[in-house]
């Protein structure tokens, strides 16, 4: 026997999914702000110039930051499309229909987590590396 769905139940389910998407967008915006700062740091002249392989390391980190930024842009687009499609959930009359939305939502959650965790790893590597090679401020 199929469970009957009413509009109140569907609205509650939709609110939960919508709240998740808002949290994802907020986290990705924060990532964007941090990534911009880190990219500016990598392109600045605050590192000891005689550090072995400095240029190569900074280029590698810069490339990884670009990849993270591209992933973030793709995710923002996917989240926007997902949000637009969530309204269709109100028309669901059975669990099979609901499952389609939940499945897509869950997959997107995994992608967001993967992107955020990947960024955290790169950020930690950069900070660990950069912390030891920053120029000391000269005393007057």
Give tens-digit pLDDT for 49-83.
Answer: 788 888 899 999 999 999 999 999 999 999 999 99
Q: Flag whether 82 is in a domain.
A: yes
Q: For residues 111 and 52, which has the higher predicted lDDT (pLDDT)?
A: 111
The DSSP annotation for the chain comes to -PPP--HHHHHHHHHHHHHHHHHHHHHHHHHHHHHHHHHHHHTSS-B-TT-TTHHHHHHHHHHHHHHHHHHHHHHHHHHHHHHHHHGGGGG--SHHHHHHHHHHHHHHHHHHHHHHHHHHHHHHHHHHHHHTTBPPPPP-
**In the prediction, which pLDDT does 87 show?**
84
Q: Flag whether 54 is in a domain.
A: no
Q: Flag whether 45 is in a domain.
A: no
Q: Flag whether 37 is in a domain.
A: no
For residue 119, what are the domain limits?
A: 60-132
Across 21-30, average pLDDT: 98
Looking at the structure of the chain, the number of domains it has is 1
């Amino acid at each position: 026997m199929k469970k009957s769905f009413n509009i109140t139940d569907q609205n509650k389910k939709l609110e939960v999914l919508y709240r998740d998407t808002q949290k994802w967008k907020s986290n990705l915006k924060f990532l964007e702000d941090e990534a911009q700062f880190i990219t500016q740091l990598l392109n600045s002249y605050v590192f000891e110039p005689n550090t072995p392989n400095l240029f190569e390391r900074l280029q590698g980190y810069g490339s990884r930051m670009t990849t993270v930024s591209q992933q973030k842009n793709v995710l923002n687009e996917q989240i926007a499309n997902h949000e637009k499609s969530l309204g269709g959930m109100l028309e669901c009359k059975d669990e099979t229909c609901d499952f389609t939305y939940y499945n897509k939502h869950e997959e997107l959650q995994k992608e967001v987590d993967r992107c955020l965790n990947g960024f955290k790893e790169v950020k930690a590597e950069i900070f660990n590396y950069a912390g030891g090679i920053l120029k000391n401020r000269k005393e007057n």
